[in-house]
Amino acid sequence: MRYWVRNVFHLGVKELASLARDVVMAVLIVYVFTVAVYSEATAMKTDVSNAGVAVVDADHSALSSRIKDALQPPYFRAPREIDRSELDALLDKGLYTFVLDIPPRFEADLLANRGPSIQINVDATAVAQAAVGTAYIQQIIARETANFLHQHGASQAVPIEPVIRALFNQNLEAIRFSASMGIINNVTILAVILAGAAVMRERERGTIEHLLVMPVLPNEILAAKIWANGLIVLLAAGLSLHLVVQFALQVPIVGSVEFFLAGAAVYLFAVTSLGILLATIANSMPQFALLAIPVFIVMFLLSGSFTPFESMPVLLQDIMYASPSTHFVRFAQSVLYRGAGIDLVWKDLAAMAALGAAFVAVALSRFRTMLARQS
């Protein structure tokens, strides 16, 4: 056993030295866990930010003024009052995303219980802001109207006031989700690419023949590639969480980063094995890249990192439980966002370990076959 561990360690050191001389791969690792994470977190926003608003105020009452004043940054720019004749032209030009049309005698009709309405005109070409922003404006109008009626003692005031409490992301900021998810997704990409490229690099450079004449076993070569490439991705992910997410983006991490990295190590055991498995199927680096792309797409889109896992069809959910990324996303979100402990995520850790063992068994069988062909 000690001889096996020594061989695996020295072979892993060889992998690290080989990766250190690969400038392109080193630059890719740095870029993916720094610039890519930062740009994804700051550029891809699904919440409303600095949206343009105009108001057609035909009432000029205290209530209409309250509604206009409630449209504040950072969600909306200061609203501009326009004439109704300008409404269509301004929307056509894309100068404003939202235009509120407050009718004449709006306040008087409300106090007289005549049921007046405010028209919200939306430029829906900005789909994300249009959907979320409309809901924001509706909440603002409902809140200001309810407060106004309460102050005037109107009988039609609703006696029940709903109180909404948002947990784990109180301000509903998309950056708190996208920053960490960028790292989670990049862990998958880099692990598959590094592990698979390590095998393809050996084959294309002819160094695999050197290993065949050495007194090492296929499982030692495989284990060395798993721990060496997994270690690089794990260190990069940890530094990215601390330096990019917490320091540069100022996004708080609720749970334990160390516990997350421990779970990521289990996940890397599975996903690096998957990368090696894909490399044993392909015959060249371009083939490996083309084979890895659909794997990435399926793991990203159907693991719950972009859309809620529960919203997918039940049959598709059952299929995706065979993917380690599904369990890793659930584990990472529970730990980083909600501060969950091992008592809540142990099933996902066990599933990742079991899937990793299955991938290693298949990859080792394919790897031995590949070495036999090479010899």
State pLDDT tens for residues 248-289: 988 888 889 999 999 999 999 999 999 999 988 888 888 898
pTM recorded for the entire structure: 0.78
Which tens digits make up the pLDDT trace of 41-99?
Answer: 877 666 777 888 999 998 888 888 999 999 888 888 888 898 888 888 888 877 888 89
What 3-state class would DSSP assign to 190? helix
pLDDT at 41: 82
The dihedral through the CA atoms of 140, 146, 150, 151 has a sign that is positive
Banded model confidence at residue 342, pLDDT cuts 50, 70, 90:
very high
pLDDT at 46: 66
pLDDT at 75: 84
pLDDT at 345: 92
pLDDT top residue among 28 and 166: 28
Q: Which amino acid is located at 200 in the chain?
A: M
Q: Give the integer Cα–Cα distance in Å for 310 and 138.
A: 27
pLDDT at 162: 55
Average pLDDT over residues 227-245: 93
Q: Give the integer Cα–Cα distance in Å for 78 and 59.
A: 19
pLDDT top residue among 8 and 44: 8
8 Å CB contact between 168 and 337:
yes
pLDDT at 151: 81
Average pLDDT over residues 354-364: 92
pLDDT top residue among 312 and 234: 234
In the chain, pLDDT over 90 holds for what percent of residues? 25
pLDDT at 159: 46
Average pLDDT over residues 332-338: 89
User: In order of start, what are the domains of the chain with their CATH numbers?
Assistant: 2-44+174-374 (no CATH), 53-151 (3.40.1710.10)
What does the mean pLDDT of the chain come to?
A: 85
Look up tokens 């083939």; give the residue. Answer: 287
The angle, 0 to 180 degrees and rounded to 10, between the axes of the packed helices 342-374 and 218-239 is: 140
304 pLDDT exceeds 90?
no
Which tens digits make up the pLDDT trace of 150-176?
Answer: 887 765 544 445 566 667 776 767 788
| Contact residues for 359 (Cβ-Cβ < 8 A; gap 6+) | 270, 273, 274, 277, 324
Distance of CA 154 to the CA centre of its chain: 46
pLDDT at 156: 54
Task: Name which of 312, 235, 169, 265 is nearest 19 in CA terms.
Answer: 235
Which tens digits make up the pLDDT trace of 206-218?
Answer: 777 677 677 778 8
The angle subtended at Cα 183 by Cα 180 and Cα 189, nearest 5°, is 150
358 pLDDT exceeds 90?
yes
- Highest mean pLDDT, choosing among 91-100, 343-352, 364-373: 343-352
Banded model confidence at residue 339, pLDDT cuts 50, 70, 90:
confident
In the chain, pLDDT over 70 holds for what percent of residues? 92
pLDDT at 126: 66
